[in-house]
Amino acid sequence: QVQLVESGGGLVQAGGSLRLSCVASRFPFAFSSSGMGWFRQAPGKDREFVAAIRASGGTTYYTDSVKGRFTISRDNAKNTVYLQMNTLKPEDTAVYYCAVRSGPTWTSLKDFKYWGQGTQVTVSS
């Protein structure tokens, strides 16, 4: 069973930065052949797409609210995907999850699987 472990969350003031990491293991296939994504879920809200990256790392996708502030990247040698978050806002507060792309789209929840346990990000105003 694929295992994804997120880390790097924490409490930060508005305008600050955090870098999330997601380490993948027990892949039945090559990590380097899998698209990866980050999603987040705020209290009382549905889980939503944040960013995704193609297997090679050459193409990335972002939800509009994080464009220019967040950067997704990956290190296939380390089976790790990152989310660099800058200029954080209180509305970025959520549990952040990484997942493996399994379907045709790059932003739909239903097209991702093998979710990690999440890491909490809290941005104070």
Residues near 34 by beta carbon (within 8 Å), at least 6 away in sequence = 27, 55, 100, 101
In whole angstroms, give the CA distance from residue 46 to residue 54.
24
CB distance 11 to 22 below 8 Å? no
Q: What string of pLDDT tens digits covers the 125 residues of the chain?
A: 899 999 999 999 999 999 999 999 998 888 999 999 999 999 999 999 999 999 988 899 999 999 999 999 999 999 999 999 999 999 999 999 999 999 999 999 999 989 989 999 999 99
Q: Which long-range contacts (CB under 8 A, 24 or more apart) does 58-62 make?
A: 61/106, 61/107
